[in-house]
Amino acid sequence: MTQRGASSSVAAEDARLILLAPFVAAGARAAEVTDMAPEMGILGGLTYTGSALNGTLVEDDTTIAERRVSRHDLNLAVEFSPAERVAITLAVPITLLWRFSFPEARTMVVDPITGTGTYLADDTTAEATAITAAGLQGVWLGAAVAPFSEQYAASDTITWRLDGAIRTPSAKRNLWTAPSGRRGAAPGGWGFRLAGAFSTDLGAGEPYLTAEYLRESKVSVDVVEDGVTWATDLPLHPASVLGATGGVEIVALDRPDTGTRFAVDLSLGAAYRTWEDIATGVYLPNVLDSARSIPVTAGDSVSGTVGVALDLHVDAHVRLRSGATLEVRTPYRPEHLYEVRTATDTYVIGWTFEVTGVASFAPDQN
């Protein structure tokens, strides 16, 4: 049920619902990414995810601003299995705080030659700026199936989990507008997610592979900031993400009689983030007001991630997980109107903590 890999930035990554009362739970024989709720049971949890991006913005090889992006998310998710190999999923991701800041940023002025904005014509430092956002990203509703599973069939030597989900839109409360003086954290439009996870149990190690496609739809937004309406029904198209992660869970302790298990998860991932049409002024420290009535295009980029996590099953019902990631991204232009790019020194440090519960309401067959 946990989503690993692409989503990072965007989306971030899904999780499970809070601890559940210890009913009768089924044991799992697969890596965490392919786990399913037990038949007539629930798998759910609560996950906190944080990240910190550091880097610089450059124009013609001149640094025009530091860039700091910090984010704190809380994700509540649960899945119910009405029948073996099938689950209905629900996830509610909430951004506690999303902050874009640009220390030591230069002031943008109109270039007298080109007529466009530039940070190079004036080397004075602008007043420190920061953009913050918070709130519900949307509600994900979906389904999952396990066509092959080592848990359900002894003849299966590999476990599959296939997911599909749809996220509700938020045209009034999103990152691109602040009608009440505060920005939301939602991308804006409908979201569609397709994902697959594959793993096999080799005893001391459980290798796995995940792949995910997150598609963002177009949305029309009224761009409002500081009580000023800059645009009405501005057509935007947030970025979509395609990513994959491969890794291995190295099992250090496994006691089937008590359900206790401890593993170290090592992973490598890569993701492609598409271009996007957005409202100006979010990804840059200061911009020209003349561009606020039109969509601006942010370029596409590729990222690579390395991660490590500790995974503990306290017993058959309660699981804990904590991990960290390091991500690097290729440079791109945050807004096509200006010759400004993110620099190669950009990196993202991420961390997560997850609490999961597993429970079954089926009668005990023993």
The pLDDT score that the predictor gives to residue 206 is: 92
pLDDT of residue 364: 64
Longest dimension (CA), the chain: 82
Domain that holds residue 295: 52-70+104-316+323-351
The answer as to whether 174 is a domain residue is yes
- Give a yes or no: residue 9 inside a domain: no
This prediction has a pTM of: 0.88
Is the pLDDT reported for residue 3 higher than 70? no
Identify which of 366, 11, 30 has the alpha carbon closest to the alpha carbon of residue 187.
Answer: 11
**pLDDT, position 208:** 96
Question: Is the pLDDT score of 12 beyond 70?
Answer: no
Q: Is 201 part of a structural domain of the chain?
A: yes
Dist. CA 184–CA 132, nearest whole Å: 9
Q: What is the pLDDT of residues 335-366, one digit of tens each?
A: 999 999 999 999 999 999 999 999 988 776 44
What per-residue confidence (pLDDT) applies to 27?
35
Model pLDDT, residue 115: 74
For residue 6, being part of any structural domain is answered with: no
Instruction: Quote the pLDDT of residue 125.
Output: 81
Mean pLDDT of 202-209: 89
Could you read off the pLDDT of 208-238 as tens digits, one per residue? 999 999 999 999 999 998 889 999 999 999 9
pLDDT digits 0-9 by tens, 92-121: 999 999 999 999 899 988 877 777 889 998
In this model, does residue 26 exceed pLDDT 60?
no
Please, are residues 186 and 167 in contact by the beta-carbon 8 Å criterion? no
d(CA 353, CA 47): 6
Q: What pLDDT does residue 302 have?
A: 97
- Cα–chain-centroid distance for residue 104? 28
pLDDT digits (tens, 9 = 90+) for 81-94: 999 999 999 999 99
Closest to 93 in 3D by CA, of 167, 5, 192, 179: 167
- Average pLDDT, stretch 279-296? 92
Q: Are strands 117-118 and 130-136 parallel, antiparallel or unpaired?
A: unpaired
Domain count along the chain = 1
Q: State in Å, rounded, how far the first CA of the chain is from the last one.
A: 28
Residue 56 lies in a domain: yes
Q: Which two tokens stand for residue 64?
A: 């025009």
Return the percentage of the chain with pLDDT > 90, whole number. 72
Question: Phi then psi for 33, rounded to 5 degrees?
Answer: -65, -20
Per-residue pLDDT at 9 exceeds 50: no
What pLDDT shows up at residue 45? 95
Whether 1 maps to a domain, the answer reads no
Cβ atoms of 138 and 191 closer than 8 Å = yes
25 pLDDT more than 80: no
Beta strands in the chain (DSSP E): 41-59, 62-83, 86-101, 109-110, 117-118, 130-136, 140-145, 159-167, 191-199, 205-216, 219-225, 228-236, 241-255, 260-273, 276-278, 296-298, 301-313, 318-329, 341-342, 347-360
Distance CA 100, CA 102 (A): 7
Query: What's the rounded mean pLDDT across residues 295-311?
Result: 97
Residue 75 in domain:
no
What residues contact 366, with CB distance under 8 A and at least 6 apart?
none
* 10: pLDDT strictly greater than 60: no
Quick check: 212 and 7 in contact, CB under 8 A?
yes
Phi-psi group of 203: left, alpha or beta (phi > 0 → left; psi -120 to 50 → alpha; rest → beta): left
pLDDT at 186 (0 to 100): 96
**Is residue 94 included in any domain, yes or no?**
no
